[in-house]
Amino acid sequence: MKALVLSGGNGTRLRPFSHSMPKQLIPIANKPVLEHVLANIADLGVTEVGVVVGNRLEAISAALGDGSALGLRLTYLTQDEPLGLAHCVRLARDFLGDDDFVMYLGDNMLPGGVEDLAERFRATRPAAQVVVHKVPDPSACGVAEVAEDGTVLRLEEKPDRPVSDLAMVGVYFFTPAVHEAVAAIGPSTRGELEITDAVQWMVERGDDVRAVEYTGYWMDTGRIEDVLACNRELLRDLRPSMAGEADADSEITGAVVIEAGARVVRSRIEGPAVIGAGTLVEDSHVGPHTAIGGDCVLRATDIADSIVLDGASVCGVRGVRGSLIGRSADVGAAALGTPHHRLVVGDHTRIEVAA
């Protein structure tokens, strides 16, 4: 089995971050979303992975390299325009050859992994196996109508009146039969080749198309709120470790990871939290569910439930909550005071917050 990871989306809902970095590289628990995805794929025993990228090939390849650090061999495939998920399968035809493959959207987080679902596919080998998850409002997703035995009866993309509460979560298992389907369909009303249409074409032809339910935590990290929620979820399972330093005037409670070269001085860190390599936390309070990237500086700052990306500086600011602060951003205090701040700060930015 091979894998096809789709990382070409523009991430318009994650602006301003997606202007300067691929949305799939935004870190959750101090690791890019794409690394979480590729780790799940490596757990399946898959080694050959095609990564479909748009105009961010340089940034993604710089972050992932050739994949050897994760035990993978990555092949980068460039999609010049976002023409749909089925178009990605067409684009990857030569790479995929006649192998079965798992297709995985590069901004979807399934921390529980999909090993059991992959085993089911290998054991029964239907023409296609879609992964579904029960959601309260499936109208913004692809929706599956499924028989009691798991056979897919019908698929719809973002229907006004969903036929079920089973949303497709962005993980698909295919045999080579899918190549005929993606070649047969035309563009949707959005002008894209929809993978939902390709799988529906297989259903109508009478192919064996199955649905399997993923019952663990799932998040499409397409919005700031989703990224922060997923960060909270992953940090819940954090195991404490101390590779950096904390002085005698500091207090560390709960599950806290302090990476190599990080220093905590006269500060309080409440877990779950991660302090990245080379970061300085001084005279500050870092509250729960916070991930501070590498080479950051926090001074006289109170922050919780937030993500701070590499190289950022946050000084003299109190009451930072639910915030995502970009790479090399500089956040400092202004003269006037307010009791609470919520920040969404893009890369290489400076803002002043009233103290």
Question: Structure tokens of 327?
Answer: 């790479």
What is the pTM for the complete model shown?
A: 0.89
Determine contact, residues 304/290, Cβ cutoff 8 Å: yes
Three-class SS of 293-313:
CCCCEEECCEEECCEECCCCE
- Our CA dihedral for 16, 17, 19, 23, rounded to 10 degrees, sits at -140
User: Residue 191 carries which side chain, given as an amino acid letter?
Assistant: G
Determine contact, residues 96/2, Cβ cutoff 8 Å: yes
Other CB atoms within 10 Å distance of the CB of residue 93: 12
pLDDT at 205: 96
Rounded CA-CA distance 88/329 in Å is 35
pLDDT at 55: 79
Determine contact, residues 139/247, Cβ cutoff 8 Å: no
The SS3 assignment for 172 reads strand
Rounded CA-CA distance 234/28 in Å is 8
- With CA atoms as reference, report the closest residue to 111 among 179, 57, 31: 31
pLDDT at 245: 97
pLDDT in tens, the chain (355 residues): 999 999 866 545 555 555 556 778 889 999 999 999 999 999 999 999 999 998 788 889 999 999 999 999 999 999 888 889 999 999 999 999 999 999 999 989 999 999 999 999 999 999 999 999 998 887 777 888 999 999 999 998 887 788 888 988 989 999 999 999 999 999 988 888 999 999 999 999 999 999 999 999 998 887 888 899 999 999 999 999 999 999 999 999 999 999 999 999 999 999 999 999 999 999 999 999 999 999 999 999 999 999 999 999 999 998 899 999 988 988 887 655 556 666 666 665 666 666 5
Rounded CA-CA distance 246/242 in Å is 9
Domains and CATH numbers, the chain: 2-230 (3.90.550.10), 238-354 (2.160.10.10)
Other CB atoms within 10 Å distance of the CB of residue 125: 13
